A and B are shown apart, each in its own frame.
Chain A
Amino acid sequence: MTAGHPKSPRARRGRFAAVRRELSKAPLSAWFAMIVIAIYAFCAIFAPLIAPHGEAEIVGKGYMPGGWHADFLLGTDQIGRDIFSRLIYGARNTIGVALVATIISFFIGIAVGVLAALNRGWFDQVMSRIADALLAMPALIFALMLLAIFGKGMLNLIVILALLDATRVFRLSRAAAMNVVVMDFVEAARLRGEGTGWIVFKEIIPNILAPLVTEFGLRFCFVFLTISALSFLGVGIQPPTADWGSMVAENKSLITYGNLTPLYAAGAIVLLTVAVNFLVDWLLYRTSGLRDEQ
């Protein structure tokens, strides 16, 4: 008689209200971050609609000055492409590659990390030592080396960055899962005869999600900066595809003439990094606050 109408609507409204309440308490920096990230996301998704010119389209002479009344808002680059349009397309490429690489690294890192924490023994040993070995080399130099071996290209770039970053995600998820694995409710699930899948997805991952979500923000920043650095060095995203790192590199000589062109792309990188960090800071503060309440 009573179970016919489960009370999930009430619970869902409760969660919605909780999110709204959290947002109303969010500090200015978090709001700033959310707005900036929303603008970037909008540019990345709707790039072809917003950009006045094509990504690789040569629309004028080289190094034309920009301005509100000029044909090109931010001027043109060395071969006459519209810098403003390329900035917008750059959002799509750079953020897209970074996002895909980070997501793949989290899939691999969490899966291997949680399984290692759950099973310990040889699997944990082998995986941890592999991670140690990969972590021992500076990420950027290691990535440069691997790109030199396997060749440049979008796919290679994503796979290499994802694998390198997965080692860091592995360490974190393994450490976090280790604290959960020893809990009585995991033992209770084992005693109940639950399979590994249930224990991983229903018992462990929901309990380590908070640190992982914050880590996702941070790792995204690092991957994003690494891609920009690699592109600056010429082994990242390849021309004519627009990318902020290579845009800085292509126009870097202009800085000696007091021209701000290379700083536009650099500014775009800085702004996004700062915004993501602000957001992550706030999320970290919130999750640690929740832990205190318990």
Chain B
Amino acid sequence: MSSNPRKGAERSRIKGRTLLEIRDLKIEGESNDVWHPIVKGIDLTLRSGEVLGLVGESGAGKSTLGLAAMGYVRPGCRFVSGSVAFDGLDLLKTSEAARRAIMGSRIAYVAQSAAASFNPAQKIIDQTVETAVDHGIMSRSDAEADARNLFRMLHLPQPDSIGERYPHQVSGGQLQRAMTAMAMSCRPELIVFDEPTTALDVTTQVEVLAAMRDIVERFNTAAIYITHDLAVVAQMAHRIMVLRHGLVVEEAPTREILTAPKQAYTRSLWAVRKLRKAEEPGGDVLLRMRGVSAAYGTVPVLDDVSIDLPRGRTLSVVGESGSGKSTLARVITGLLAPSKGEVLFEGKPLSRALAGRDRETLRKIQMIYQSADTALNPRQRIGEIIGRPLELYLGITGKARDRRVVELLEMIELDERYVDRLPGELSGGQKQRISIARALAADPTLIICDEVTSALDQIVQEEILTLLMRLQRETEVSYLFITHDIATVRAISDHVVVMCQGRVVQQGLKSEVLSPPHPAYTELLLSSVPEMDPDWLTRLLDREKKTSRPG
């Protein structure tokens, strides 16, 4: 078998033949010297040419199962029992050499972050053809020709020369597609996609999804598509398997599971996108930006931006990455001095630089970051993190401080047990709650939320958004909410500002901005948001084809 890994490849490509059969798989992981189960007995069958979506919260065991389909576990994990039969061969029992012959050539893997998976020191084409050449499937020149062909199929720009570039010289979406080309280079029978579009913008995501779906269909490749985004998986998968705590909750064909989910948990996953806040126009203006322009060195980032944020309301700023959303936050917080224009807070102009602002102004404007991992000092305990603003701004110390910290923890639905913990001991959602508590501790009037939910999976996103809305009702705080996710905008905002390349394209009440007619850019942004409809991508592509080639 190992001498010719391609043997049997043609046979198994006949549609409907069982390609991968996982039976009663159990996997354990080690932490602090204790083995605890990650996958607790899962059965999975995949036929050739079929795309299976694996959906679940983080920690559900999706990625572990995806890797197990290749007979691989991460360091610190181990197989306990069960079998993983690929084309009749049990990958858990076979020799390392035989398994390695199959990996890459008959089974391929596309990781979440292409940027982290490419070797930055080698050209893209060298890395794309490497597997095919190493496995002796193609000669170097054939493989290169084939790679260029794949680049073309994946709609990469300049497919003949893009391979000559280094990974940092192409965009994230292009790199993700190059990685798909790499996986395809041996025409594998099975590809495991592990959250391949999670790190991408909505508009880029659409392109990558379309390219992946097209190529998987064209070569009749079986695929396991791992994601926490239901709308995305609905476009890709024939069947969807919902996982939770290492067990299968529900498995059914895509249409069936979308329209009639049987389990309560599946329905709760579906419900996330239904979160809506009734918009309120609001009265006096808390924050007003007038004709603000800003630049990093000589590179202009913001161009004549004017926005109003009413007191006690939520203003969402939407746009792709690079549209200047985060720079807007830096100007308001004083980290970047604007080159033109002014920022008025409670009617008074804010000092342009951080150094010129008094402690009271600093207290009133708080910020919550996208990644709670880097926003919380890993060496400080939770009590210290939340207690510091109390000491600094409000002069609350000692027992009174400890009491207030517990109160704040209860406000964010955690409790006093967390006071002594370090951020590393908490989950992503809990860490983001701690960031919120730290902002609340200062008793602010404005909180700037920079993509605060984009690193979290959907159920946790909904919890955080609900929490933020509840806190707004209780404390009358205003939010400036920076996001690229339209579902989040729908859920939380009163007012919306659409930004593109440093300019405000459109602004107004949520209902005005999100309903037609739209300026072209808003239209593109809105139409790129995947919907919970398996035909959405097909329809979108059809529509684009019609508009780009009229008649």
Contact = CB atoms under 8 A, between A and B. Distances in A.
B369 A188 contact: yes
A6 B420 CA distance: 8
B218 interface: no
Interface in B338-392: 354, 357, 359, 362, 366-367, 369, 371, 374-381, 383, 388-389, 392
A8 B403 CA distance: 15
A3 interface: yes
A191 B374 contact: no
Contacts of A11: 381, 420
Given A3-B405, A3-B416, A193 B359 contact: yes
A192 interface: yes
B377 A203 contact: yes
A193 B416 contact: no
B437 to A, nearest CB: 13
28 contacts: A2-B416, A3-B399, A3-B402, A6-B383, A6-B419, A6-B420, A7-B417, A7-B419, A7-B420, A8-B420, A183-B375, A184-B369, A185-B374, A185-B375, A185-B376, A185-B377, A188-B438, A192-B362, A192-B388, A192-B389, A193-B362, A193-B392, A194-B392, A202-B380, A206-B379, A207-B377, A207-B378, A293-B31
A154 to B, nearest CB: 37
A294 B375 CA distance: 15
A187 interface: yes
A2 B406 contact: yes
Residue among A10, A184, A190 with the highest chain B CB neighbour number at 10 A: A184
Nearest to A183: B374
A197 interface: no
Contacts of B377: 185, 202-203, 206-207
B541 interface: no
Q: Main SS of the interface on chain A?
A: helix
Interface of B: 31, 33, 333-335, 354, 357, 359, 362, 366-367, 369, 371, 374-381, 383, 388-389, 392, 399, 402-403, 405-406, 416-417, 419-420, 424, 438, 442
Given A2-B406, A184-B369, A191-B354, 10 more contacts: A6-B383, A6-B402, A183-B375, A190-B354, A191-B366, A192-B388, A193-B359, A202-B377, A202-B380, A207-B379
Interface string A1-27: 011101110110000000001000000
Interface of A: 2-4, 6-8, 10-11, 21, 183-185, 187-188, 190-194, 202-203, 206-207, 293-294
A191 B367 contact: yes
Contacts of B334: 191
Residue among B374, B377, B383 with the highest chain A CB neighbour number at 10 A: B377
Residue among A11, A185, A190, A294 with the highest chain B CB neighbour number at 10 A: A185
A102 B146 CA distance: 60
A3 B402 CA distance: 6
A206 B379 CA distance: 6
A71 B381 CA distance: 60
A3 to B, nearest CB: 4
A218 B233 CA distance: 53
Contact of B406 (A3, A10, A193, A203): A3
B424 A294 contact: yes
A185 B97 CA distance: 46
B374 A184 contact: yes
Residue among B375, B406, B442 with the highest chain A CB neighbour number at 10 A: B375
Nearest to A4: B399
Contacts of B442: 192
A192 B383 CA distance: 17
A4 B405 CA distance: 12
A202 to B, nearest CB: 7
Contact of A192 (B392, B416, B424): B392
Contacts of B335: 187, 190-191
A185 to B, nearest CB: 4
A188 B442 CA distance: 13
Contacts of A188: 367, 369, 375, 438
Contacts of A185: 374-377
Contacts of B362: 191-193
A294 B438 CA distance: 23
B419 to A, nearest CB: 7
